[in-house]
Amino acid sequence: MEAQDYRAFVEQLNELTSSQRAALIAALKTRGAVDEVIATIEMGFAAAPSCGHCRSGRFVSWGHATGMRRYKCKDCERTFNALTGTPLGHLHCREKWLDYARALIDGVSLRNAAERCDINLTTSFRWRHRFLKAPKGTKAPAVTGIVEADETFIRKSAKGMRQLKGRAPRKRGTKATKAVRSTMEHDAVLIVRDRHGATTDAVLPDLMAATFEAVLMPIVAKDAVLVSDGCHAYGRFAQAANIVHFVLTARRGMRVRAGFHIQNVNAYTSRLKGWLARFRGVASRHLPTYLGWRRMIEREGSRLTPHHCLALAIG
């Protein structure tokens, strides 16, 4: 805008009605939020640029569209932008993404997040799972040193399903019918954590030793020291992996043995369950997403700003 045109624009501001001024301010704020989101997205793309379709690094600039740079791939000859092929591709209302990222950091309910961002409840549900798709699969590739492992049980839930298979409906919040925890009424979650904070977890289909071994073998370092409770599956794995294993038997009141304990992983489990309680039951089919969400919060700590959360969602 030329200086003369700008001065004329400023002079006309005094002629605006109160409702027009409010609309102008809202439009400027929205534009600013969109620019922030686009800057964050394109900054992340610049760190590792590639075609969103075929992942080729051979492409050229191809103008702009919807406020973002577009590119054309020399290999697959398709056009794309920094969001193509990411979990946030084709989502609308970018001006509200940072507010939604803040709602994820705060761990509020779907309804609360929808109210904060002025979006539909269904949209809030879709956005939550899109934003968390990448964090869901981000786990520590390896655990080293002193490694603590423990399994925890979360009551199975068919929340959100229209039809139940294999059981009658039950009132939410009721206790399990069986005193012994099993995969019949509970989702078994194996949590593995080292003293450096590296954490991984897995929802187990059963409590067989082979299942534990399949999860632990690829991630536990060969020179690690495994510390666990008395579950026989850990001993079978330690023997197969030929690593040192300390067993703490809770029935004997053994909490520490030769200076080794599982208080680190138990504290993580306690924080996880306390955090999950705010959602009043997590559907079993979505439990891995919530586990990934919690890992993200624990891993990033104070670095988890809305901009950083957005960058993690893009992957």
Domain identity same for 76 and 206: no
Cβ atoms of residues 134 and 315 within 8 Å: yes
Decide if 271 is inside a domain.
Answer: yes
Decide if 126 is inside a domain.
Answer: no
Decide if 260 is inside a domain.
Answer: yes
pLDDT tens-digit map of 129-180? 999 999 999 999 999 999 999 999 998 887 776 666 666 666 666 666 665 5
pLDDT tens-digit map of 199-232? 999 999 999 999 999 999 999 999 999 999 989 9
Q: Residue 1: its pLDDT value, please?
A: 53
User: Any idea what the Cα angle at residue 208 is, between residues 277 and 293, rounded to 5°?
Assistant: 30
The list of the chain residues with pLDDT below 50 reads: none
Q: Residue 250: its pLDDT value, please?
A: 64
Q: Residue 23: its pLDDT value, please?
A: 58
Return the SS3 of 2.
coil
Q: Residue 158: its pLDDT value, please?
A: 78
Q: Residue 24: its pLDDT value, please?
A: 53
Domain identity same for 150 and 75: no
> Which residues span the domain enclosing 28?
16-85
Return the SS3 of 19.
helix
Reduced 3-state DSSP string for 260-309 = ECCHHHHHHHHHHHHHHHHHCCCCHHHHHHHHHHHHHHHHHHHHCCHHHH
Of the residues 85, 107, 134, which one is the last residue of a structural domain? 85
